[in-house]
Chain A
Amino acid sequence: MRAGLIASLTGHTVILVWGLVALPGAESFPEPVVDSLPVELVSLSELTEIQIGETDGDIEAAPAPKPVENPQPEPPEPAETVAPEPAPVAATPPPPTPAPAPAPTPAPEPITAPDPEPEPAPVAEPAPEPEPAEEPQQAPPEPQPIVTSAVPRSKPAPPTRTEEKPEEIQVADNPDLLNKVNQALANTSTSQAPASAGTRNGVQHAGLSANEKDVIAQMIREKWSRLPDQYPSDLKVIVRFKLSPQGKLSGAPTVENSHPDPRFQALASAALRAVYRVDAEGGFSILPREKYDGPNGWNTMQPTLYPNG
């Protein structure tokens, strides 16, 4: 019996020691290698927000593409010629009702701005269009010849898309001009906030993004009671209404267009009722408050409704 006990103890000890030393521990399961994909979140407003430029700043600051090849032999006009006429450099659309202010006598007197704003914002809207004959709505696509003359004419489009850093923007050095602009803004905006010569970040109120406008239009369409029918494709109802900053309807909505179709009148009145119903359910209060102001803000909305679909 002693031999057996000794043999058993020896065997167990050997096995335990072997298990401690040599027996491999549990290995972790192999993990499948997952390729990581870089994902960028791009909001629509990044694409729709457009920075505003200055009205009469340095033209050289504009990052115009320099033609390396085929340099235009035409000598660029000196920038001083631009100064008397503050042409809209930015691609932002001008206000809908630009007061044809008188010519802004831009005497280059080095008078500092009366209110020392921390952010020297540019003039938001090139309201003081000196030539009233010129239609302001077509500002972005049309390269102003005076402006583009500062850069080589090889590519006419880029100067309209000048994206200037806010640091480079200088206050218009004419206080009279600022005052005029303030007045023009105050006329057009229903906001109680004092209209500034610029906006906070040098970014113009871009207004609602496209999908936000779509959401509003969709909300109205859902409340729009209409008979399911085959309507002509060009039949649409454009309603226009004003909103308070709290997202409530202010004033009565109106229909902006007309159509010879006999069903148009019914559709139009139904669309107006739909606007009232959306307002009664508080649908407009979802709109972001910071986008209320400005000519593109949602203080006034004008969604286009199509009865089909």
Chain B
Amino acid sequence: METLVQSTLAAPEGDLSFFSLFWQAHFVVKVVMIGLLAASVWCWAIIVDKVLLMGRTRRQMTRFETVFWSGQSLEELYGTLHNRVNHSMAALFVAAMREWKRSHEGAKPAIGSLQQRIDRVMDVTIQREAERLEARLLILATVGSAAPFIGLFGTVWGIMTAFQAIAASESTNLAVVAPGIAEALFATALGLLAAIPAVIAYNKFASDVGKAVARMEGFADEFSAILSRQIDERG
């Protein structure tokens, strides 16, 4: 009696590991799962990349600010920086100093609208830097908003085929229904797995980019004020 009960209970129990869930799924659901997995991989690549980039940018800006406000001569600083590939504040400084230098290179210094030109050059540089920081953040936003729907699509498709299979097998036993629904729900799980980190990372990086841009703009204003004073003193 007991062995009979146990055998009937144990019969429908299948392997419900990740791999078997994927392997038993319908073709469409498989495609959805693979796509979601790729999206998750790509998202995490972007996240890791952005984390490194943001940390590097913050460190560079802090280091540059300490050097800049240490009382070192601007000419010397420009001399050490202008041959490198610079980012963020250093790029701002180099762009502004390059415009300053060029304005004083000729026989007759073009100082009249030098202030406006420096401001414009620094604005362009800030825009370029912000673009660099924001690159691929839209992918995170897209994945964060679309992945649950893609997973839901896989789930709906899987449940649909599961119900068709149930109708074909003419059995309403829950043990027949359950595996198909479980593997269908696995698609939604993958979608959420990809979407949740993407949304969180997008929000964090968006605010990080905003902060970095604000910091650069502040520096640009300060540097513009210094240059403006120099122009007025020389003029």
Contact = CB atoms under 8 A, between A and B. Distances in A.
Contacts of B49: 1, 3-5
Interface string A14-30: 00100110010110100
A28 B50 CA distance: 43
B13 A4 contact: no
A8 B42 contact: yes
Interface in B38-77: 40-50, 52
A25 B45 contact: no
Interface string B192-235: 00000000000000000000000000000000000000000000
B170 interface: no
B48 A36 contact: no
A9 interface: yes
A12 B17 contact: no
A28 B174 CA distance: 13
Contacts, number: 53
Nearest to A24: B17
Nearest to B14: A25
A8 B44 contact: yes
Given A23-B18, A25-B15, A4 B45 contact: yes
B1 interface: yes
Interface string B80-94: 000000000000000
A19 B18 CA distance: 7
Interface string A23-50: 1011010010000100000000000000
A23 B186 CA distance: 15
Contacts of B1: 36
A252 interface: no
A31 B49 CA distance: 50
A23 B18 CA distance: 9
A12 B18 contact: no
A33 to B, nearest CB: 9
Contacts of A31: 5, 9
A12 B37 contact: yes
A4 B48 contact: yes
Given A3-B52, A12-B40, A36-B1, A28 B9 contact: yes
- The B interface is mostly helix, strand or loop, or mixed, namely helix
A11 interface: yes
B105 interface: no
A272 to B, nearest CB: 54
A7 interface: yes
A136 B5 CA distance: 57
B52 A11 contact: no
Nearest to B12: A28
B18 A3 contact: no
Given A28-B9, A28-B13, A36-B2, A9 B45 contact: yes
B165 interface: no
Contacts of B10: 28
B48 A26 contact: no
Interface string B1-42: 110010001100101111100000000000000000100111
A22 to B, nearest CB: 11
Contacts of A11: 44
A20 B40 CA distance: 18
Contacts of A5: 41-42, 45, 49
Contacts of B17: 19-20, 23, 25
A20 B19 contact: yes
B41 A12 contact: yes
A82 B15 CA distance: 78
A23 B40 CA distance: 20
B198 to A, nearest CB: 12
A177 to B, nearest CB: 53
B16 A7 contact: no
Contacts of A9: 41, 45
A25 B16 contact: yes
A5 B136 CA distance: 13
18 contacts: A3-B49, A4-B44, A4-B47, A4-B48, A4-B50, A5-B45, A5-B49, A7-B45, A8-B43, A8-B44, A8-B47, A9-B41, A16-B18, A20-B18, A23-B17, A23-B18, A25-B15, A31-B9
Given A4-B49, A8-B44, 9 more contacts: A1-B49, A3-B48, A3-B49, A7-B44, A8-B45, A8-B48, A25-B15, A26-B16, A36-B1
Interface of A: 1, 3-5, 7-9, 11-12, 16, 19-20, 23, 25-26, 28, 31, 36
